[in-house]
Chains A and B, each alone.
Chain A
Amino acid sequence: MADINLKINGMECKAPAGSTILQAAKLNNIDIPTLCYMKEINEIGACRICVVEVKGARSLVAACVYPINEGMEVLTNSPRVLNARKKTLQLILSDHNKSCLSCVRSGQCELQTLCKQYGVDNEHMYDGIVNESEIDGTAAHMIRDNSKCILCRRCVAACAKTQGIGVIGANERGFKTNIGSAFEVGLAETSCVCCGQCIAVCPTGALYEKDFVDQVVADLNDPEKYVVVQTAPAVRAGLGEEFGYPIGTNVEGKMAAALRRIGFNKVFDTNFSADLTIMEEGTEFIERVQNGGKLPLITSCSPGWIKFCEHYYPDMIDNLSSCKSPQQMFGAVTKTYFAEKMGIDPKKIVCVSVMPCTAKKFEVGRADQSAAGVPDVDYSLTTRELARLIKRYGIDFNNLPDEGFDDPLGEGSGAAVIFGATGGVMEAALRTVVFKLTGEKDGSPIEFKEVRGVEGIKEATYDVAGIKVNIAVASGLANARKVLDMVKSGEKNYHFIEIMACPGGCVNGGGQPRVPANIRNFNDIREMRAKALYSIDEANTIRFSHENESVKKLYAEYLEKPGSHKAHEILHTSYVKRTINK
């Protein structure tokens, strides 16, 4: 599109026609602060923090929605603008719970940052009536504390638009406006799928995960307990951000070192059970294809997606792979095989997982997830909680040496680590399925690039030993909905579908470090973090799940073969039909 000439703060600038003032300024290295603006999903000009002065305009305008035009003159820093922003912040603070010292978001809060930036020196300037609100802690995975809500509606947009769910919204009007669910029921009573995308976009401490750091610390200090930790693939691509590393830095080695110093008895890796998942799910796919089973087979790694399917597509739960997710497979193997091998009572084992996910907190409490008669996984922490634990333990993360995981459940292939990016599970499965179906020959294809990348829906067709395999990959539940509707209408005929609840997959999960909007709106964090995983895959000498020696040993010593009766007892699960409205 043709460029438009305008002046910003007296400087001649150019930006493509159709840009907003916010975008044009960013292109010219001028940051305009935002609070409610979220690219593509929440462009509502509501919070008034991004106001700028436009020559000739009667009042200040919202830069996030105001289009540029030829010859426009914009001031982003005039005294009038700065004063308006400061006043807006003070007005927000007049109905805001300002207990920053104990707030989980302190130091990373977008509101707090702006208050510092705009010199808000009196947070009580407009003190007056305050809205009463109750904390909603009903859900398994998160807390809503509306006393810290600024009504930006970013969470509402993430839920309704990114995920196509819409269980939260703005209720009442005027001063009484509040974000919540219909009839003010707790989130647990709604068809919330626990994905945590609302938490990921919240600018303040109004939304946060249920924190289990204290419980983990207590168990670490209990001599009766044997505490094992596993880390999901995407965690190593996100954790570094909490310690000042650029987005997309792989900190696998330092993470393992930190976990060891915290005192976990074993530092294991969910990559191990990701490989195990491929063995089971790959076998399940081949069986369904060869025996006329239910197709398309849909992956079951993402518990947000599973809960979504149960609520919104209950007629399709038979399409779901019966495989437990890698988190749960890991716990199940730890408390059966590993416990027997080590001679430890599974009741004494505490299995802690570190996940980029909040839905995993719901998953640990699901039925049919206790292979040894005790829950497979005891605590599921988010990447953010792990960062808190590391900081609480005074570990100088940045100066730690790179260390490896412990044996035997610490080994993972390159196929496993890409589980953390959309398309990764599909690619990992294809590597093994193609190998198996084409006669287990050397030189079987490794990279399936058609399924990579951040697009919401990807499709490909592969000819595997004379069988045409149509696959689809969807991330973000609004995209999943589109794919499922095409399957139901008969418009598409897929054999295998990978679905991840979060857009871009686990790297952008609801439990990953929060990235402030001013970075999120102008960078693709999904792509940046995924890159780290694909580099780990490429550097790995083992890139097929079926070549994971520890997995092979597990089958040889314990499970017999993929899909065996014992494997089904330990590694597979069942689903329930749920409704949208009770």
Chain B
Amino acid sequence: MGSKKKIPFNGTADQEAALRRVVAELKNEKGALMPILQKAQDIYGYLPYEVQKIISDEMNIPIEKIYGVVTFYSQFSLYPKGKYKISVCLGTACYVKGSGSVFDKLVEKLGIEGGECTADGKFSLEACRCVGACGLAPVMTINDDVYGRLTPDQIDGILSKYN
């Protein structure tokens, strides 16, 4: 079975203590799982196995139930954001100008899907909807840098700037 790619977990004792406080505070309320997951994501930035396991053990509910919720809602992430966060606009203007193939090129180049992070923690990739630079379509951002009028063959050169 292809289990999800594993990125080393670097949670701190402070984060864990904060999570346990949140769970203890909310777990007896009806529908507690969603707010607990939201707070957990605030604390860690994402919801890896280690975090879901703590929630499962503390709330005494199956981890699959948690994982089902996490993978259902797009605002929850199983992966941390990379050192360099790549967002490719798949909004209408960028899409018709070919951002789909830019995105595909990044998927191929980085070996990850949208929403995921490379195993070395360097790049994370996500699709977004309109960064307000439609005149430059297709557009992507890497942290605060904006790249416009992109073609897939520019990707190698752009990525090589980030080390």
Contacts and interface: CB of A to CB of B under 8 A. Distances in A.
Interface of A: 134, 136, 138, 160, 165-173, 181-186, 190, 580-581
Contact of B52 (A134, A160, A169, A182): A182
Interface in B53-111: 53, 56-57, 61-68, 71-73
- 4 nearest CB pairs, A to B: A166-B62, A182-B67, A186-B1, A169-B68
B157 interface: no
A183 B3 CA distance: 6
Nearest to A174: B72
B62 A169 contact: yes
B1 A182 contact: no
A184 B3 contact: yes
A172 B71 contact: yes
A171 B65 CA distance: 9
Contacts of B57: 580-581
B49 interface: yes
A133 B1 CA distance: 10
Contacts of B161: none
A581 B57 CA distance: 8
A580 B66 CA distance: 14
A165 B67 contact: no
A444 to B, nearest CB: 45
19 contacts: A134-B1, A134-B2, A166-B61, A166-B62, A169-B64, A169-B68, A170-B72, A171-B72, A173-B73, A181-B67, A182-B49, A182-B64, A183-B49, A183-B67, A185-B1, A185-B3, A186-B1, A186-B3, A581-B53
A160 B62 contact: yes
A433 B65 CA distance: 44
Contacts of A166: 61-62, 64-65
Interface residues of B, number: 20
Contacts of B63: 182, 581
Given A167-B62, A182-B52, A581-B53, A136 B1 contact: yes
Contact of B72 (A136, A167, A172): A172
Contacts of B21: none
Contacts of A581: 53, 56-57, 63
Contacts of A173: 71-73
Interface of B: 1-4, 49, 52-53, 56-57, 61-68, 71-73
Contacts of B4: 183-184
A580 B65 CA distance: 13
Contacts of A170: 68, 72
Given A182-B63, A183-B67, 18 more contacts: A134-B2, A136-B1, A166-B61, A169-B65, A169-B68, A170-B68, A170-B72, A172-B71, A173-B71, A181-B67, A182-B67, A182-B68, A183-B3, A184-B1, A185-B1, A580-B56, A581-B53, A581-B63
A72 B62 CA distance: 42
Contact of B66 (A134, A182, A190): A182
Contacts of B67: 169, 171, 181-183
Contacts of B2: 134, 184
A171 B2 CA distance: 15
A184 B57 CA distance: 19
A308 B63 CA distance: 16
A138 B1 contact: yes
A162 to B, nearest CB: 14
A557 B31 CA distance: 63
Contacts of A183: 3-4, 49, 67
Contact of A171 (B3, B53, B68): B68
A181 B65 CA distance: 9
Given A134-B1, A182-B52, A185-B3, A168 B64 contact: yes
Q: Which one of B52, B62, B64, B67 has the highest number of Cβ atoms from chain A below 10 Å of its Cβ?
A: B64
A169 B64 CA distance: 6
A168 B68 CA distance: 9
A421 to B, nearest CB: 29
A123 to B, nearest CB: 29
Contacts of B66: 182
Contacts of B73: 173
A182 B49 CA distance: 9
Q: Which one of A168, A172, A183, A186 has the highest number of Cβ atoms from chain B below 10 Å of its Cβ?
A: A183
A136 B3 CA distance: 11
A181 B64 contact: yes
A252 B67 CA distance: 46
A185 B52 CA distance: 14
Contacts of A160: 62, 65
Contacts of A190: 64
Q: Which one of B2, B56, B65, B73 has the highest number of Cβ atoms from chain A below 10 Å of its Cβ?
A: B65
B49 to A, nearest CB: 6
B64 to A, nearest CB: 4
Nearest to A181: B64
Nearest to B61: A166
A183 B7 CA distance: 13
B71 A165 contact: no
A42 to B, nearest CB: 15
Contacts of A186: 1, 3
Contacts of A168: 64
A182 B4 CA distance: 10
Contact of B64 (A138, A167, A172): A167
Nearest to A164: B62
Nearest to A183: B4
Nearest to A579: B57
Nearest to B56: A581
Q: Which one of B52, B68, B72 has the highest number of Cβ atoms from chain A below 10 Å of its Cβ?
A: B68
A171 B3 CA distance: 13
A160 B62 CA distance: 9
Contacts of A165: 62
A165 B73 CA distance: 23
A163 to B, nearest CB: 11
Contacts of B71: 171-173
A156 to B, nearest CB: 9
Q: Which one of A160, A166, A169 has the highest number of Cβ atoms from chain B below 10 Å of its Cβ?
A: A169
Contacts of B65: 160, 166, 169
Nearest to A137: B1
B94 to A, nearest CB: 23
A249 B71 CA distance: 46
A99 to B, nearest CB: 21
